[in-house]
Amino acid sequence: MKFSEVVSLYISYKRTLGHKYHSEEAVLRSFCKGVGNDPFASIQPEAVLTFLNGRGPITGYWMKKYRVLSGLYRFALARGLTKMSPLPRTIPNSTAPVFAPYIYSHEELKRLLNAVPVACAGRVPIQGDVLKTLLLILYGAGLRIGEALALTLKDVDMNQSYLYIRDTKFFKSRLVPMGNDLTEILNVYIVMQQKRHPAPAEEAHLFCFRDGSPLSQSATRNAFRRLRLHAGVLRQDGARHQPRLHDLRHTAAVHRLIAWYQKGENLQDLLPKLAAYMGHVDLSSTQRYLTMTPELLQQASLRFENYAIGGGL
Same domain? For 68 and 150 the reply is no
SS3 250: helix
Same domain? For 116 and 173 the reply is yes
The pLDDT tens digits of the residues spanning 57-93 come to: 777 788 889 999 999 999 999 999 999 999 998 887 7
Label residue 94 by pLDDT band (50, 70, 90): low
CA distances to 109, 124, 271, 290, 296 from 299, in Å: 21, 41, 16, 13, 5
Q: Last residue of some domain: 207, 231, 255?
A: 231
Query: Is 277 a member of any domain?
Result: yes
Same domain? For 225 and 126 the reply is yes
What pLDDT score was predicted for residue 152?
93
Same domain? For 162 and 192 the reply is yes
Query: Is 89 a member of any domain?
Result: no
Query: Is 97 a member of any domain?
Result: no
What's the mean pLDDT when you consider all of the chain?
Answer: 85
**What is the C-alpha end-to-end distance of the chain, expressed in Å?**
59
The pLDDT tens digits of the residues spanning 285-307 come to: 566 656 656 565 565 555 545 54
Residue range of the domain that includes 284 = 247-308
Query: Is 242 a member of any domain?
Result: no
Provide the number of structural domains found in the chain.
Answer: 3
Same domain? For 224 and 122 the reply is yes
Q: Is the pTM here over 0.85, yes or no? A: no
Q: Last residue of some domain: 78, 94, 116?
A: 78
Q: Are the beta carbons of 7 and 28 closer than 8 angstroms? A: yes
Query: Is 313 a member of any domain?
Result: no
